Amino acid sequence: MIINLADATGGLFTDVGSFLAADASQRELAFQRWAAYDAALAATFGDKANEFFVDAQVGRAFLTPQLYRIETQVYLRRYPNADLTGLIPINTDGDMWDVGTVFYSMDEAGKAEFLSGKGFDMPYASTLMNQSSRGFYLAGIGYEWSTQELQRAAKLGRSLSADKAAAARKAAQFFKRSVAMTGRAPGTAASEKGWTGLINDANVPAANVAADGTGSATTWATKTPDQISRDIWAAVNAVETQTGETHTATTVGLPTQKLRYIEQTRMSDTGTTILAYIRGNRDGGENINFVPIRELAGAGASDTDRMIAYDASPEVAQFHLPGDHEFLPPFQKSSMTYEVGGIMNVGGTEVRLPKAMTYRDGI
């Protein structure tokens, strides 16, 4: 590293391992000391501020030590509403420059039968193997510093803020989330790469929930708690049925408002909520993970809300991320601007066993 960790943190930490193992309060104190260290370093550039215009090395010497603190700080931040944990397995095989992956899927065929002791009709088991490929694509989000910002920081003897890096990091997180869920970049109506995501794959079996609410409606707002419980179990049971009981639904995803509704609404004749009733009144129910997926709102047929039940294992579906977002070294791209690029290599969501998933629309 460019800086000495012990010096930058005032001796609080002497190695990266102890820093990463520390609790949040200790890390925050370390960042405060690190920022003060950077401010002291910035002050030494006060008489060199004008050289930022003509000498890129001076600008990089000022920027680089501070970027270690800034990048460490923002990569430790978590954005829960952009997190993929618990939603889909992430495959990180490969690196930033891989162009794609080839994978093989296999299915078994054959069954045992009765036969004669003198027969020649021995049944055989066999395997069916398919080869598929998946392309990876480079994406990016970075930030920049103006020479004016660097000069002011140097002359005032203060460290640079982590806000720009944090904004880039957050944008990268939301980009990955949107691609994983829908196949599209945030704010776009169609996928630039022709991808779909976890919630809208055309090969996954889909159906409407029963239309037996008030006025023959399908929406949960018109249904009793018993009917809602039945709709959920119908989706969970469909995964077992579609796969011949080789897969079971381990996860049920719902639009956030729908999940909150079953968390708070009581069953008609019990003292428990719909969610607690489902988890406690069937073998294995307590092992189903209910997760909020805001992208499911309006994702169903005719823009209705969608529910998804699926086996959240890597053999069923996975999000390819061979190169996670990382910042590049700063460089001077003009007389007034220094750029810090950020890149990632993304392969999108691959649904390998669509019958181990099911969509239920109209909730």
The residue to which tokens 């073998």 are assigned: 283
The DSSP string of 115-132 is --TT-S-----EEEEEEE
Which of the four pLDDT bands, split at 50, 70 and 90, describes residue 176? very high
Which pLDDT belongs to residue 156?
60
Of the listed ranges 114-118, 287-291, 358-362, the least confidently predicted one is: 114-118
Three-class DSSP category at 216: helix
Which of the four pLDDT bands, split at 50, 70 and 90, describes residue 314? very high
**What stretch of H or E contains 195?**
none
Q: Which domains does the chain have, with CATH numbers?
A: 82-103+137-363 (3.90.1690)
**What stretch of H or E contains 351?**
strand 348-351
Of the listed ranges 27-41, 132-146, 165-179, the least confidently predicted one is: 27-41
Provide the token pair at 73.
Answer: 């700080």
Which pLDDT belongs to residue 2?
43
Task: Name the DSSP class of 330.
Answer: P
Nearest-5° angle of CA 118, CA 122, CA 128? 175
Q: Determine the Cα–Cα distance for residues 134 and 105; give it in Å rounded to an integer.
A: 13
Which residues are registered as beta bridge partners of 101?
134
Check if the beta carbon of residue 311 is closer than 8 Å to that of residue 352.
Answer: no
Which residues are registered as beta bridge partners of 139?
344
- Please say if the pLDDT value at position 44 is more than 50: yes
Which of the four pLDDT bands, split at 50, 70 and 90, describes residue 81? low
88-117 average pLDDT score: 81
Which of the four pLDDT bands, split at 50, 70 and 90, describes residue 15? low
The residue to which tokens 């809300």 are assigned: 305
Check if the beta carbon of residue 321 is closer than 8 Å to that of residue 345.
Answer: yes
Residues in CB range of 45: below 8 A, 6 or more apart: 58, 61, 62, 154
Highest average pLDDT, of 38-42, 82-86, 92-96, 291-295, comes from 291-295
Q: Across all residues in the chain, what is the average pLDDT?
A: 82
Which pLDDT belongs to residue 219?
97
Which of the four pLDDT bands, split at 50, 70 and 90, describes residue 1? very low
Residues in CB range of 137: below 8 A, 6 or more apart: 193, 345, 346, 347
Which of the four pLDDT bands, split at 50, 70 and 90, describes residue 73? low
- Please say if the pLDDT value at position 68 is more than 80: no
Which of the four pLDDT bands, split at 50, 70 and 90, describes residue 204? very high
Three-class DSSP category at 350: strand
155 vs 60, residue with greater confidence? 155
212-233 average pLDDT score: 96
Which pLDDT belongs to residue 363?
97
199-220 average pLDDT score: 96
Q: Whose CA is closest to 176, among 83, 91, 73? A: 83
Q: Whose CA is closest to 298, among 246, 232, 362, 351? A: 362
Q: Determine the Cα–Cα distance for residues 171 and 290; give it in Å rounded to an integer.
A: 26
Q: Determine the Cα–Cα distance for residues 199 and 206; give it in Å rounded to an integer.
A: 11
Provide the token pair at 239.
Answer: 């995964």
Q: What percent of the chain has pLDDT over 90?
A: 48
- Please say if the pLDDT value at position 310 is more than 80: yes
Task: Name the DSSP class of 175.
Answer: H
What pairing do the DSSP bridges indicate for beta strands 289-292 and 206-208? Answer: unpaired
Q: Whose CA is closest to 203, among 137, 105, 304, 125? A: 105
Which of the four pLDDT bands, split at 50, 70 and 90, describes residue 122? confident
- Encode burial over 55-87: b for 16+ CB neighbours within 10 A, e otherwise: ebebbbbbbebbbbbbbbbbeeeeeeebebeeb
Check if the beta carbon of residue 95 is closer than 8 Å to that of residue 125.
Answer: no
